[in-house]
Structure 1
Amino acid sequence: MSTIKDVAKEAGVSIATVSRVVNNSPKTSKSAIAAVTQAMQKLGYRPNESARALVSQKTNTIGVLVGDVSDPFFGLLIKTVDKIAHEHGKHTLIGNGYHHPQKERDAIELLIKNRCDALIIHSKRLTDEELTSYAQEIKGLVVINRYIEAIADRCISLDNYTGAYLATDYLIQQGHKDIACIASNHTIEDAKDRKKGYLAALKDNGISLSNEYIACNDPDADGGMAAMNSLLTLSINITAIVAYNDYMAAGALAVIHDKGIAIPEALSIIGFDDGLLAHYLYPALTTVHYPIALMAEKAALLALKRTNDLYIETEQLHFIPSLVIRNSVAKVNT
């Protein structure tokens, strides 16, 4: 394997000159750049990126922490960040936190140790104080899908309350009053805000339901199945369901189909996220659109601006979801 000494000898220049070329120093002459570049190509020399990072203090890498890369929701987030990274001559390094505090912490520490220029953090288990501390250390850190007042100018968040309110209110406008909620059992603000939105829509429309109408479980398809089975064992009338996300809705739909209940004629359902899954369920799922791609793009650009100390104009950091109407909701026959 060729070394920097070999390149210097082949190009007829000093090792210091080769180093300046490799690190894009403005003090290097055009003739030296041409000679060194030709020598590197001839010898197949590749600069040591770690050494370059020590000199330039940059690795041209954006670090991303997500819950689980196998989840299409996070896959779209990463794909969007990676697109922005490539447009700016950078690469992405990904860490999985699996919604576990220590794993989130370890992943962030690893991204920092790898000298990422910017960090985009999707964390649901670390405290506001810990994330604020990381933000004070890393100027290019941006938090996505969460709001922390102390670092509000670098938080890209979604109005989960309004999303659940829109879904519940839409069902009410279709004549539904006996509306159940399949909720997440995770103690995170998304779950709390979506439940609050559901309850607020009921209250604003003069509908009062018992706590039996809320079934909590893990926010995945299995959790949706378990929650739906739990609701069906109760002696309560249900004509519609608001689900925490599309996965829980999918699990609920599987149970409903197995029970021979007609959808949406006998039971309507609405999801949340509007992921790829929602398009291919039967019937196609009415859901709340989560603009994660737009939010991820905003987060990546904001992180790069902060990293490069660029002027940041007043930005839209808080996003409002919208309702996507498909085929899983029917009007109540009166």
Structure 2
Amino acid sequence: MSTIHDVAELAKVSVATVSRVLNNHPSVSTKARLAVQEAIAQLNYQPNANAQALAVQNTDTIGVVVTDVTDAFFAILVKAVDKVAEKHNKTILIGIGYHHAEKEREAINTLLRKRCSCLVVHSKALSDKELSDYLDNVKGMVIINRVIKGYENRCVSLDNQKGTYIATEMLIRHGHKKIAYIGSNHAIFDEIERRSGYLEALKAHHYPIVEHAITHNSPDFEGGEQAMIDLLSYNKDLTAVVAYNDSMAAGAISVLNENNIKVPSHFSIIGFDDMPIARYLIPKLTTIRYPIDLMATYAANLALSLVEPKIETPPVIQFNPTLVRRFSVESIN
């Protein structure tokens, strides 16, 4: 299926020019308009009707696409967007993607059909090219937790690699030499970045990668339990682990307790995200804070500013992970 990028390439114009032609903008020259129209005919390009409708219709609804509303991380994201919407007398509609491209596409298109004027989209399965097409056509769309090349000013993200680097380095500074990593089995960039941060910290401190010290499972309590069981099955001298998120860390802690391995006196663990559960585990979980509430607030304000001139565009902010010290890490003897 042809895309707006294909039309632009064939017509030898920019994607923005194609978009202006599709929306019958008067600023396009006759030559460019004819070139685009010929390319559309040649490629049998079918514009996204939802996006075109949104380009000329403004409503008081903000659309939010998340992976799973039952996950505390996404619940916080939605709540932050809702607070911004309420401040501007708007409402929100929610779409769920479940880490599947078809579901994410369906969620975005459904929200567009409902004439949402703005979209805050958390998409991990759709390709950069498809998201670029949406961004070209949907003026008020912002991507969160991902960066699309060429659209950096409409993407809100965090340096995941830095987060696990900080976590691993903390364990190293506490004397741990046999450090494992529990990762997500979802094929998403977050996992690649977090695993990379762990490996980079080991490399920077000249630590060898321990065989069978990296394992992957579902990014939830059950996945953390199974991942910790696998690590203990393969290794007898591990003293610490960096977990992909707090849920996996919680599952890992339960397995350690069941095996009479006390945290942190016998084993240290660091999570990621700083979800509410981190404060209520025993011991309270040391973790990397992912400021999703601040990021979602920024993303919602940015989306609104793109379609409503009276709303000031927020200044560009670099969001960074920070270490939250609690009681699940202890120096090794």
- Give the alignment's TM-score, normalised by structure 1: 0.81
Relative to structure 1, the CA distance from residue 259 to residue 121 in structure 2 (aligned partners, 3 Å threshold; closer, same or farther) is: same
Alpha-carbon contact 2:65-2:97 (below 8 Å) kept: yes
Give CA deviations for 1:48-104 in whole Å, capped at 9, x if unaligned. xxxxx99x9322000000011111111111111001001111100011111111111
Deviation of the 1:237 alpha carbon: 1.4
Distance (whole Å) between structure 1 residues aligned to residue 315 and residue 68 of structure 2: 31
- Asked if residue 162 in structure 1 is aligned to residue 162 in structure 2, the reply is yes
How many residue pairs are counted as aligned between the two chains? Answer: 279
Relative to structure 1, the CA distance from residue 172 to residue 126 in structure 2 (aligned partners, 3 Å threshold; closer, same or farther) is: same
Distance (whole Å) between structure 1 residues aligned to residue 322 and residue 315 of structure 2: 23
Give CA deviations for 1:206-240 in whole Å, capped at 9, x if unaligned. 10123411011111111111110001111441000
Distance (whole Å) between structure 2 residues aligned to residue 327 and residue 232 of structure 1: 22
Relative to structure 1, the CA distance from residue 69 to residue 92 in structure 2 (aligned partners, 3 Å threshold; closer, same or farther) is: same
- SS of alignment partner, residue 157 of structure 2: strand
- Asked if residue 203 in structure 1 is aligned to residue 206 in structure 2, the reply is no
Give CA deviations for 1:124-182 in whole Å, capped at 9, x if unaligned. 11111111111111000000011111211100000000000000000001111110000
Residue in 1 aligned with 2:173?
Answer: 173
Residue in 1 aligned with 2:213?
Answer: 213
Q: Which amino acid aligns with 1:329?
A: V
Alpha-carbon contact 2:179-2:242 (below 8 Å) kept: yes
Give CA deviations for 1:22-67 in whole Å, capped at 9, x if unaligned. xxxxxxxxxxxxxxxxxxxxxxxxxxxxxxx99x932200000001
Distance (whole Å) between structure 1 residues aligned to residue 161 and residue 153 of structure 2: 21
Residue in 1 aligned with 2:135?
Answer: 135
Q: Which runs of 5+ in 1 are unaligned?
A: 1-52
- Asked if residue 194 in structure 1 is aligned to residue 171 in structure 2, the reply is no
Residue in 2 aligned with 1:272?
Answer: 272
Distance (whole Å) between structure 1 residues aligned to residue 129 and residue 57 of structure 2: 27
Give CA deviations for 1:233-264 in whole Å, capped at 9, x if unaligned. 11441000000000100110111111111110
- SS of alignment partner, residue 208 of structure 1: coil
The aligned runs of 1:1-334 (5 Å cut-off) are: 57-309=57-309, 312=313, 314-316=315-317, 318-333=318-333
Q: Which amino acid aligns with 1:300?
A: A
Residue in 2 aligned with 1:46?
Answer: none
Residue in 2 aligned with 1:3?
Answer: none
- SS of alignment partner, residue 76 of structure 1: helix
Relative to structure 1, the CA distance from residue 258 to residue 131 in structure 2 (aligned partners, 3 Å threshold; closer, same or farther) is: same
Alpha-carbon contact 2:301-2:313 (below 8 Å) kept: no
Q: Which amino acid aligns with 1:249?
A: A
- SS of alignment partner, residue 70 of structure 2: coil
- SS of alignment partner, residue 319 of structure 1: coil
Give CA deviations for 1:251-302 in whole Å, capped at 9, x if unaligned. 1011111111111011000000000010111110000000000000100000
Q: Which amino acid aligns with 1:177?
A: K
Distance (whole Å) between structure 1 residues aligned to residue 220 and residue 315 of structure 2: 36
Q: Which amino acid aligns with 1:276?
A: P
- Give the alignment's TM-score, normalised by structure 2: 0.81
- SS of alignment partner, residue 77 of structure 1: helix
Distance (whole Å) between structure 2 residues aligned to residue 87 and residue 320 of structure 1: 26
- The alignment yields a C-alpha RMSD, in angstroms, of 1.5
Distance (whole Å) between structure 2 residues aligned to residue 222 and residue 137 of structure 1: 40
Give CA deviations for 1:289-317 in whole Å, capped at 9, x if unaligned. 0000000010000000001246646511x
Alpha-carbon contact 2:213-2:235 (below 8 Å) kept: no
Distance (whole Å) between structure 2 residues aligned to residue 69 and residue 185 of structure 1: 19
Relative to structure 1, the CA distance from residue 261 to residue 63 in structure 2 (aligned partners, 3 Å threshold; closer, same or farther) is: same
- SS of alignment partner, residue 116 of structure 1: coil
Deviation of the 1:325 alpha carbon: 0.5
Residue in 2 aligned with 1:19?
Answer: none
Distance (whole Å) between structure 1 residues aligned to residue 332 and residue 219 of structure 2: 28
Larger Rg: 1
Deviation of the 1:186 alpha carbon: 1.3
Q: Which amino acid aligns with 1:229?
A: I
Q: Which runs of 5+ in 2 are unaligned?
A: 1-52
